[in-house]
């Protein structure tokens, strides 16, 4: 899939101006996320996305940003198969999601690791119990589950908390449990919707650094965030949405 | 400006196209996990579990109790009616040859199992054994009793068959009167038939009540775990995977209720042994108490487990489908 080439542009007047040059960035690698002229119109005639095209390669990390209602969450919902596009093609690891049968959705969702702003941890299960869920769903044997859950918890620095209930953890720790759950089954794609929305700047930076580590092991990482300061500090590719339209696609090297 | 980067391989996701042995292993893991989760959930709310099991258990014990009662009434009827022969009184003045001729004619009928010819002397001897009669009999000039044919019908005859046999006896030459003392048994059989039908219907209704109790328990459980179900579906769980722990919960609730129902029925049996023994003594031991058959006691918990599974299946399929669509 080829991405459209555009010249550098500016966001329309908005309190959240992107303070760096904007331009469309076309990737040439091994794309695992693809949006090709994707539009989404909700019932009630609300146009959430209009002709959005971009792709994310394996081992690439990209931010999706824009003001509230710009279409960030809709974009992630399309990727998670919670919504279907009105027009265009969404692909995940080479599979077109537009025509996927309901029966196949669980199998495809196992290729995704999802991190939510509110963690969505199961409060009656231990940290270990939460993190092992994707492996249970995948039918992994208990001994292997145990090994991989501990590896994931170690990765996010929470191995010593494995027997704790989520309610005993701080917000930042809960978010890290959510990340461990998202990566434990080694998904091809990691998506996160405002994962640092409830965290202080230092914790937010730590969480983002974790995402960057997964990028380095070949996972495609797509993070929706409106925290421009954080995005700038991460120096990763930025896809900018405005009123449902992709208005800029800034490569990592141009983020200032 | 585009950056030039080395194309990189996507991270290796969990295998989604599985081999057969892996599928079997995954299936086994899913069931083991669902089983343990369902037990954990039941343990987590002991009072709720206890109440559900108690309601279902009592509902299932009631038909068992009625079944026990009917079975014993039937046994009693069998015991008391076992020797109820039809008495055929010959006309006064008939001799032994005439009684034998009548007996031979009746022996040829398919409804008859056996015929005993009782002479007037046999009848007088029997009366003499009855306390208080011996003095009165000694004062008689002649034996006033007729020949009597004691006809034993074949077991299992219908009321119509017996009525036909009685008509045939009445029309036999030399017969004065026919006394069918087994008619009460036919009425009892008819009553037992009504009772059996009523118990069957009751068992059906109470079984349905047990199913609804499980269904409602599972429905409430699913609604209280809506958020959890949403998360599981989002991270790739299939609907059968999400449903499975609830099915196991239904099976456990049904099985435990079945065990409770059997325990209650056995308690009932034990409490009836004393009164029935006293009744048996009053009938010279011809009446005995019969408990519920072993096959029934063993099968009730499994049938109840099946009922629990069905209730959970019907409710969970609908609820989870709704949640997945939302």
In a domain, A214, yes or no: yes
The DSSP code sequence of A163-218 is TS-GGGS-HHHHHHHHHHHHHTT--SEEEEESTTTTS-HHHHHHHHHHHHHHHHTT
Per the CB < 8 Å rule, is B231 touching A120?
Answer: yes
Tally of domains within chain B: 2
Are residue A104 and residue A35 in the same domain, yes or no? yes
pTM of the full predicted structure? 0.72
Spatial distance between the Cα atoms of B112 and B155, rounded to a whole number of angstroms: 9
The DSSP code sequence of B203-251 is HHHHHHHHHHHHHHHHHHHHHHTHHHHHHHHHTT--HHHHHHHHHHHHH
pLDDT band at B20 (very low <50, low <70, confident <90, very high): low
Per the CB < 8 Å rule, is A185 touching B10?
Answer: no
Q: Which of B133, B156, B181 is the last residue of a domain?
A: B181
Are residue B136 and residue B248 in the same domain, yes or no? no
Are residue B206 and residue B289 in the same domain, yes or no? yes
pLDDT band at B68 (very low <50, low <70, confident <90, very high): confident
Whole-complex ipTM: 0.81
Are residue B206 and residue B95 in the same domain, yes or no? no
pLDDT band at B274 (very low <50, low <70, confident <90, very high): confident
In a domain, B264, yes or no: yes
Are residue B65 and residue B192 in the same domain, yes or no? yes
Q: For residue B92, what are the domain limits?
A: 85-181
Please say if the pLDDT value at position B67 is more than 50: yes
Q: Which of B5, B12, B14 to mutate to test the interface with A (most CBs of A within 10 A)?
A: B14
Are residue A89 and residue A165 in the same domain, yes or no? no
A106 touches chain B (CB under 8 A): yes
Per the CB < 8 Å rule, is B10 touching A142?
Answer: no
In a domain, B195, yes or no: yes
Q: For residue A65, what are the domain limits?
A: 22-111+188-256
The per-residue pLDDT for B166 is 87
A contacts of B2 (beta carbons < 8 Å): 25-28, 251
The per-residue pLDDT for B54 is 95
Are residue A154 and residue A192 in the same domain, yes or no? no
What Cα–Cα distance (Å) separates residue B195 from each residue in B62, B66, B199, B200, B204? 14, 9, 6, 9, 14
Q: Which of A41-45, A105-109, B308-312 has the lowest mean pLDDT?
A: A41-45
Are residue B107 and residue B161 in the same domain, yes or no? yes
Are residue B61 and residue B105 in the same domain, yes or no? no
Are residue B227 and residue B288 in the same domain, yes or no? yes
Are residue B146 and residue B246 in the same domain, yes or no? no
The per-residue pLDDT for B83 is 56
Are residue B90 and residue B73 in the same domain, yes or no? no
A109 touches chain B (CB under 8 A): yes
Q: Which of B132, B161, B181 is the last residue of a domain?
A: B181
Domain with residue A101: its CATH number is 3.40.50.300
Q: Which of A20-29, A46-55, B61-70 has the lowest mean pLDDT?
A: A20-29
Task: Give the residue-averaged pLDDT of B241-249.
Answer: 95
Are residue A144 and residue A251 in the same domain, yes or no? no
In a domain, A242, yes or no: yes
What's the mean pLDDT when you consider all of chain B?
83
Are residue B153 and residue B200 in the same domain, yes or no? no
Per the CB < 8 Å rule, is B235 touching A114?
Answer: yes
Per the CB < 8 Å rule, is A30 touching B22?
Answer: no
pLDDT band at A220 (very low <50, low <70, confident <90, very high): very high
Three-state DSSP state, B274? helix
Domain with residue B114: its CATH number is 3.30.70.3040
Tally of domains within chain A: 2
Are residue A216 and residue A177 in the same domain, yes or no? no
pLDDT digits (tens, 9 = 90+) for A156-197: 889 999 999 999 999 889 988 999 999 999 898 999 998 887
Q: For residue A168, how many other CB atoms are within 10 A of its CB? A: 12
In a domain, B18, yes or no: no
The per-residue pLDDT for B182 is 66
The per-residue pLDDT for B302 is 96
Per the CB < 8 Å rule, is A30 touching B7?
Answer: yes
Q: Which of A62-76, B10-24, B35-49 has the lowest mean pLDDT?
A: B10-24
pLDDT digits (tens, 9 = 90+) for A55-93: 999 899 999 999 888 899 999 999 999 999 999 999 998
B contacts of A142 (beta carbons < 8 Å): 29
Are residue A89 and residue A201 in the same domain, yes or no? yes
Q: Which of B122, B153, B181 is the last residue of a domain?
A: B181
pLDDT digits (tens, 9 = 90+) for B71-130: 887 777 766 665 567 889 999 888 888 889 999 988 888 888 889 999 988 888 877 776
Are residue B173 and residue B193 in the same domain, yes or no? no
The per-residue pLDDT for B275 is 82
Minimal-distance CA residue of chain A relative to B8: A58
pLDDT band at A26 (very low <50, low <70, confident <90, very high): very low
Q: Which residues of B touch A (CB under 8 A)?
A: 1-16, 18, 22-23, 25-27, 29-30, 33, 44, 227-228, 230-239, 241
The per-residue pLDDT for B79 is 66
Are residue A136 and residue A225 in the same domain, yes or no? no
Are residue B61 and residue B207 in the same domain, yes or no? yes
């Amino acid at each position: 899939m080829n991405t459209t080439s555009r010249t550098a542009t500016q966001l329309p007047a908005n309190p959240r101006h992107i303070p760096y040059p904007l331009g469309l960035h076309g990737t040439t690698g091994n794309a695992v996320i693809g949006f090709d002229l994707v539009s989404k119109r909700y019932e009630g005639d609300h146009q959430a996305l209009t002709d959005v095209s971009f792709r994310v390669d394996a081992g690439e990390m990209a931010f999706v940003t824009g003001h509230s209602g710009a279409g960030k969450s809709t974009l992630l919902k399309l990727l998670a198969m919670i919504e279907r596009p009105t027009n265009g093609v969404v692909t995940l690891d080479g599979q077109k999601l537009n025509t996927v049968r309901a029966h196949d959705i669980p199998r495809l969702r196992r290729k995704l690791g999802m991190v939510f702003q509110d963690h969505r941890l199961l409060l009656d299960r231990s940290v270990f119990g939460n993190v092992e869920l994707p492996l249970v769903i995948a039918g992994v044997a208990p001994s292997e589950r145990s090994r991989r859950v501990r590896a994931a918890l170690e990765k996010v620095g929470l191995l010593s908390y494995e027997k704790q209930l989520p309610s005993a953890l701080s917000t930042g720790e809960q978010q890290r449990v959510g990340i461990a759950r998202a990566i434990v089954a080694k998904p091809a794609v990691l998506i996160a919707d405002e994962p640092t929305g409830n965290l202080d700047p230092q914790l937010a930076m730590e969480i983002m650094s974790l995402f960057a580590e997964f990028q380095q092991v070949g996972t495609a990482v797509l993070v929706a965030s409106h925290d421009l300061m954080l995005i700038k500090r991460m120096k990763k590719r930025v896809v900018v949405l405005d009123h449902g339209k992709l208005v800029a696609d800034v490569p990592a090297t141009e983020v200032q | 400006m585009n950056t030039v980067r080395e194309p990189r391989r996507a991270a290796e996701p969990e295998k989604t196209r599985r081999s057969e042995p892996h599928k079997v292993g995954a299936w086994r893991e899913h069931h083991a996990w669902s089983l343990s989760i369902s037990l954990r959930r039941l343990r987590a709310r002991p009072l709720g579990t206890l109440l559900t099991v108690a309601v279902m258990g009592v509902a299932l014990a009631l038909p068992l109790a009625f079944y026990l009662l009917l079975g014993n009434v039937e046994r009693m009827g069998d015991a008391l009616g076992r020797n109820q022969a039809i008495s055929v009184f010959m006309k006064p003045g008939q001799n032994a040859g005439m009684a034998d001729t009548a007996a031979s004619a009746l022996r040829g009928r398919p409804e008859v199992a056996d015929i005993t010819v009782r002479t007037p002397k046999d009848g007088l001897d029997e009366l003499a054994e009855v306390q208080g009669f011996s003095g009165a009999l000694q004062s008689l000039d002649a034996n006033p009793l007729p020949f009597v044919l004691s006809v034993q019908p074949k077991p299992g005859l219908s009321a119509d068959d017996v009525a036909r046999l009685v008509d045939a006896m009445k029309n036999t030459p030399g017969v004065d009167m026919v006394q069918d003392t087994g008619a009460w048994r036919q009425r009892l059989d008819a009553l037992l038939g009504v009772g059996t039908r009523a118990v069957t219907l009751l068992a059906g209704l109470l079984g349905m009540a047990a199913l609804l109790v499980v269904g409602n328990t599972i429905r409430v459980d699913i609604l209280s775990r809506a958020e959890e179900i949403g998360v599981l579906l989002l991270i790739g769980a299939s609907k059968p995977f999400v449903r499975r722990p609830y099915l196991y919960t239904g099976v456990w609730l049904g099985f435990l209720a079945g065990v409770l129902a059997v325990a209650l029925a056995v308690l009932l049996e034990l409490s009836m042994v004393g009164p029935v023994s006293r009744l048996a003594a009053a009938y010279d031991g011809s009446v005995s108490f019969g408990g519920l058959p072993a096959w029934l006691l063993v099968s009730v918990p499994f049938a109840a487990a099946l009922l629990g599974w069905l209730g959970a299946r019907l409710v969970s399929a609908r609820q989870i489908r709704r949640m997945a669509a939302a």
